[in-house]
């Protein structure tokens, strides 16, 4: 059994990056074949610790070096496999490869050893994200991707390597489970496989809440505050207080004073996406449901702009025709409206680079 909060090095040095050889808290390479119905209680390889499996229909086996679902049941988590508890530590990471044709499964960190993962990934026909519960961002999915879920003090980073390098796909702010349990689980149909589960603790810049951010403007903000972001990336901000009149306006991909994109929040809590060209405002998406204290995450990748309320864990809009200004990297809090307040503006990268990339590659390359 792995004691909570205790790291045990079980892996040989490998991977990219510099520094000391990586130490793994847990690895499971599924080396020894196990018949369907005979996985529960077997040892992770090279470990340490046992596998706890739920498999009422004998639909889970270990075969050919992979966790292999050969039949389906009605509920997520059956068949499913959990490992022993770990303390919640910033930078603590679960990594795994996923293969197969099954498009109904979830994996990541759980609060117990049954049911649905709470911080991680849920895949149907697309990749959705779990941050205490699910948010349907619907990134495209294919067999053979690598995934990593990096814990923060609150929330988690959701990373995907689709073969062209590591990318940040979602920034969770809500999950606080402690301890947490690594889990792999399927549902419905056969054909799902996992391989090479690894648990490890990453050092800087992953071991602090905002260490991988492009820029952080902490605390109460003021109209006219500017920030930078990457051309493909994220802007996050907290609506501390809704305006009594007018609207909060957060600009990004700013070309100049009359050409930019903006997110607005009005007194009713309506979240809008506007495109502004030569000073003419065109609304491109709208949704209700922003309340005092809610955190908004705006993701922009090429011509797609996605807006999420990370507090309520809801996708608010997903606009796919944002061709203008997509190489621009400037942002600004233009106004807070009448009586409104914005706090903690943070920009995040989409594509990992530098120390953040080198550190995860130490454990996964």
Do 270 and 152 fall into the same domain? no
Domain C-terminal end among 188, 209, 230 = 209
Residues of the chain with pLDDT under 70: 1-19
Domain C-terminal end among 209, 240, 264 = 209
Number of domains observed in the structure of the chain: 2
In a domain? residue 73: yes
Do 225 and 191 fall into the same domain? no
Rg (the chain; Cα; Å)? 21
Distances from the Cα of 51 to the Cα of 1, 54, 196, angstroms: 10, 10, 14
Distances from the Cα of 245 to the Cα of 2, 224, 280, 290, angstroms: 55, 19, 21, 15
Domain residues for the domain of 33 are 24-209
Do 193 and 255 fall into the same domain? no
Q: What is the pLDDT of residue 23?
A: 96
- CA trace torsion 264, 347, 233, 15 (10° rounding): -160
In a domain? residue 362: no
Residue ranges of the alpha helices (H) in the chain?
A: 354-364
Do 177 and 221 fall into the same domain? no
In a domain? residue 361: no
Do 110 and 165 fall into the same domain? yes
In a domain? residue 359: no
Region label for 65, one of left (φ > 0), alpha (ψ between -120 and 50) or beta (otherwise) = left
Cα four-point dihedral sign 286, 287, 288, 293:
negative
In a domain? residue 173: yes
In a domain? residue 305: yes
Do 116 and 37 fall into the same domain? yes
Do 50 and 198 fall into the same domain? yes
Do 226 and 201 fall into the same domain? no
Do 156 and 115 fall into the same domain? yes
Do 71 and 30 fall into the same domain? yes
In a domain? residue 119: yes
Q: What is the pLDDT of residue 134?
A: 80
Do 233 and 304 fall into the same domain? yes
Do 220 and 201 fall into the same domain? no
Q: Look up the CATH number of the domain holding residue 35.
A: 2.60.120.200
Domain C-terminal end among 209, 232, 258 = 209
In a domain? residue 300: yes
What is the DSSP track for 287-337?
E----TTEEEEEEEETTEEEEEETTTTEEEEEE----TTTT--EEEEEEEE
Q: Which of 86, 107, 110 is nearest to 98 (CA)?
A: 107
């Amino acid at each position: 059994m792995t004691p909570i909060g205790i790291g045990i090095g079980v892996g040989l040095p490998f991977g990219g990056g510099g520094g000391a050889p990586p130490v793994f808290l847990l690895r499971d390479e599924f080396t020894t074949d196990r018949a369907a119905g005979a996985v529960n209680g077997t040892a992770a390889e090279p470990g340490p610790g046992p596998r706890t499996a739920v498999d009422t229909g004998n639909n889970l086996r270990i075969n050919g070096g992979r966790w292999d679902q050969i039949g389906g049941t009605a509920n997520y988590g059956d068949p499913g496999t959990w490992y022993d508890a770990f303390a919640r530590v910033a930078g603590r990471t679960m990594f795994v490869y996923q293969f197969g044709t099954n498009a109904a499964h979830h994996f990541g960190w759980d609060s117990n050893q049954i049911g649905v993962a709470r911080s991680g990934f849920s895949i149907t026909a697309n990749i959705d994200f779990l941050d205490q519960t699910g948010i349907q961002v619907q990134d495209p999915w294919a067999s053979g991707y690598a995934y990593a879920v990096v814990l923060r003090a609150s929330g988690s980073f959701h990373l995907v390597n689709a073969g062209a390098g590591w990318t940040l796909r979602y920034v969770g702010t809500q999950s606080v489970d402690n301890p947490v349990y690594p889990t792999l689980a399927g549902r419905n149909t056969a054909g799902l496989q996992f391989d090479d589960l690894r648990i490890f603790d990453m050092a800087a810049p992953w071991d602090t809440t905002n260490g991988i951010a492009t820029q952080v403007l902490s605390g109460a903000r003021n109209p006219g505050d500017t920030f930078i972001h990457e051309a493909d990336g994220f802007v996050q901000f907290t609506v501390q207080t809704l305006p009594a009149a007018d609207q909060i306006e957060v600009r990004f991909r700013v070309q100049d004073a009359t050409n930019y994109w903006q997110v607005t929040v009005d007194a009713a809590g309506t979240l809008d996406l506007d495109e502004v060209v030569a000073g003419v405002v065109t609304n491109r998406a709208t949704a209700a449901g922003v309340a005092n204290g809610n955190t908004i995450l705006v993701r922009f990748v090429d011509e797609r702009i996605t807006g999420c309320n990370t507090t309520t864990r809801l996708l608010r809009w997903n606009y796919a025709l944002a061709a203008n200004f997509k190489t621009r990297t400037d942002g600004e809090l233009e106004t807070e409206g009448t009586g409104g307040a914005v706090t903690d503006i943070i920009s995040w990268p989409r594509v990992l680079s530098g120390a953040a990339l080198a550190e995860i590659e130490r454990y996964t390359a």
